[in-house]
Amino acid sequence: MQVAPSILSADFGILAQEVKAICDGGCDLVHVDVMDGHFVPNLTIGPVVVSAVAKAATKPLDIHLMVENNSFFVDLFAPLNPKYISFHIEEEKHPHRLIQKIRDLGISPAITLNPHTPPEAIEFLIDDLDMVLLMSVNPGFGGQKFIPNVLERAFRLKEIITKRNSSCLIEVDGGVNDKNIQALKDAGVDIVVAGSYVYGNDSYADAIKSLQI
Ligand code: DX5
Ligand code: ZN
């Protein structure tokens, strides 16, 4: 299991240090939550702050867009060379076109599904995606309670990925901790995002290790 700590739960007063600490702690990716105050009722960070994060990080960035006007935000963040950019299917009229655009920029395209969106909604996009991000909370805030229907959704998504002979990875985001990690592994999940669990632990390295099962 790969682990992508979400910096949303970091101390933003010492952000560079907090980013270095998870990288030194052995994380696989650095998860960056971009919220615009429109698609979700919260507002986070833009390219100025994320470029400071990129400078401090020794692991690749995983940018999770929770915004309206995805294409505009892809243009803003592409110069920072993230490994992944994911966008919400619920907010995109032309997902296939946007996937191609992200790929053409040299970035791995990913799509995010809210807790109500069935994995079948993206069955015919799977061949073009490197990752699907399943939300296990309603997007907008860290520290929320895990919604267990993600286990069934991951299982159904895995079936679609296998059927299509794809190497697309499954990432789960929200409320992940050492109590639900085994169930996520059993459901076929490849990457977990964990914000409050990692940054709420005295040892970030121990918390990260406890999820890398
Ligand atoms: C929620 C964000 C998550 C969040 C995860 O909208 O996408 O990445 O920060 O935080 P925890 O692990 O605390 O649920
Ligand atoms: Zn996220």
Phi, psi of 67 (to 5 degrees): -145, 160
Q: Is 11 a catalytic residue?
A: no
Confidence label for 108 from pLDDT (cuts 50, 70 and 90): very high
Instruction: Enumerate the domain spans of the chain.
Output: 2-211
Give 93-107 pLDDT, tens digit per residue. 999 999 999 999 999
Confidence label for 27 from pLDDT (cuts 50, 70 and 90): very high
Angstrom CA distances, 37 to 11, 93, 188, stand at 21, 20, 32
Choose one of 90, 144, 146, 176 to mutate for the ligand 1 pocket test, by most ligand atoms within 8 angstroms of C-beta: 144
What residues flank ligand 1, with Cβ below 6 Å?
6, 8-9, 31, 33, 64, 137, 139-144, 173-176, 193-197
Q: Is 173 a catalytic residue?
A: yes
Task: Quote the pLDDT of residue 11.
Answer: 98
Task: Quote the pLDDT of residue 28.
Answer: 99
Which atom of ligand 1 sits closest to the CA of residue 35? 6
Angstrom CA distances, 179 to 30, 62, 182, 185, stand at 22, 24, 7, 12
Which atom of ligand 1 sits closest to the CA of residue 175? 14
**pLDDT mean over 104-115:** 98
CATH for the stretch 2-211: 3.20.20.70
Task: Quote the pLDDT of residue 150.
Answer: 98
pLDDT above 70 coverage of the chain, percent:
100
Cross-strand partners of 64: 33, 86
Q: Please tell me which residue in 28, 33, 36, 130 is annotated as part of the active site.
A: 33
| Token pair belonging to 193 | 């995002």
Whole-model pTM: value is 0.98
Q: Ligand 1 centroid to 92 CA: how many Å?
A: 21
